[in-house]
Amino acid sequence: MSAPLTPPAPLPVERLVARCDPASLGIETSAELPELDVARIHGRAVDAIRLGLDIRAEGYNLFVLGDPGSGRHALVRRLLEDARGRGDAPADWCYAWNFANASQPRLLRLPCGRGRGPALRDDLARFVEELVPAIGAVFESEEHRNRIEALQEEAKAREESALRSLGDEAQKLGVALLRTPHGFAFLPMKGEGSTLTQEEFEKLPEPRQHELGEHIRALHERLHRLMGDFPRWRHELQNRMRDAGREAIRATVTHLIDELEARHADLPEVCDHLDAVLADVVASGESLRATPHTDEDSESLTYTGSISVQRYLVNLLVANPADGARPMVYEDHPTLQNLVGRIDHLVHMGTLVSNFTLIRAGALHRANGGFLMLDALKLLSQPFAWEGLKRALKSARLRIESLSELIGVTGSVQLEPEPMPLELKVVLIGDRLTYYLLGQYDPEF
């Protein structure tokens, strides 16, 4: 028979809780505690990340392994913030109208901080505001109206002189040139200011009738050729009037463009674009006068053929702070469009249309010149996002792609913006399983 069990000794409640005397800590609040030395806790990992961030050669990106809750995001953010001040200042980027091909917007590179504020974007906005009134003033000026009237009078006098010369030659041959409601007619003359009737003509000797008939046929041929010259002369008049308008516009707009080029003289690409703007304004001429920029024009300026001064603006895609710090972007929802950007569309008269002002930046645009942080699992779960990221990094050029274009279901005319040169460091954050699966099944990883 076993011995009876001894009942356990009671455990006081006071012994269930470990108590610490706050006075023994030597601080009043936790805010007085020094920051954790991340380098000491994750020494080798921190050294590896810093080394990877400082390698500027192409193709060196990072994959940070760590279990959820290990502080990997906070650690990477802190190291990226420290690295932002090292390296070259990132560029600002904007898209502009391509006067050679409207469906392929032109990419302009600007020094850091030159895209935003009192810079190119605002300069061109002011230029557009001043342009339409300036052109209206040109065509409404007395000087221009007098010039046009002089050209019209000159053309009218040319036609009348040609007709008068033909009429004088006809009179020498005994034929009168008459204006009728239906045009011009040649009739035999019987005296000064009078013509023969049909009966009087038939009473003439047959040789004289034949002679007058030959004269009239020859004069009709000359009149026919002269009437053929009139449309050409009038076309020449229209060209001269258009050239006069263009000269007047050039004289007015050139000083506006010169002011802009003086402000951006250190940017050859911008100066080339401003020269193209001037050439297009001069070529467009009076059509700009009657079409001020409106929201409706903005919707359709690419594909309806309408003239709109909004094409002289720029679409500021990326604007970095003027302090030159490299960007650090974390994309929480890494879809293809959120990474590589997108092109918005508007419905105009039942048709989807777009233009360069509707190009939107993606995370790769905003992080260009700096760092992009992504969650590997989120990236891999989005259709086409992983392949799009690899394509951009491998080519070092960022081309805006859409899902509809990739799967071939788009039914609208697509813009093809000039690709952006890409130079950035991508930091993927994930667990060990994701890392080793990518290494096993993706040879490009």
pLDDT of the residue at 287: 77
Highest mean pLDDT among 62-71, 212-221, 270-279: 270-279
**In the chain, where does the domain assigned CATH 3.40.50.300 lie?**
35-83+327-445
Nearest C-alpha neighbor of 274 from the set 254, 303, 292? 254
Average pLDDT of the residues in 223-252 = 88
Average pLDDT of the residues in 312-336 = 93
Query: Per residue in 67-85, pLDDT tens?
Result: 887 788 888 999 999 999 8
pLDDT of the residue at 306: 42
Q: What pTM value is reported for the model?
A: 0.77
Return mean pLDDT, the chain.
Answer: 85
Residue 343 tokens, joined: 């092109």
- Assign residue 117 a region: left if phi > 0, alpha if psi is -120 to 50, beta otherwise? left
- Tell me if the domain spanning 35-83+327-445 has CATH number 3.30.1360.200: no
pLDDT of the residue at 1: 53
Asked if 312 contacts 293 with a C-beta cutoff of 8 angstroms, the reply is: no
Residue 295 has pLDDT above 50, yes or no: no
Query: Per residue in 7-58, pLDDT tens?
Result: 888 888 777 877 788 878 778 887 877 776 655 667 788 888 889 898 888 8
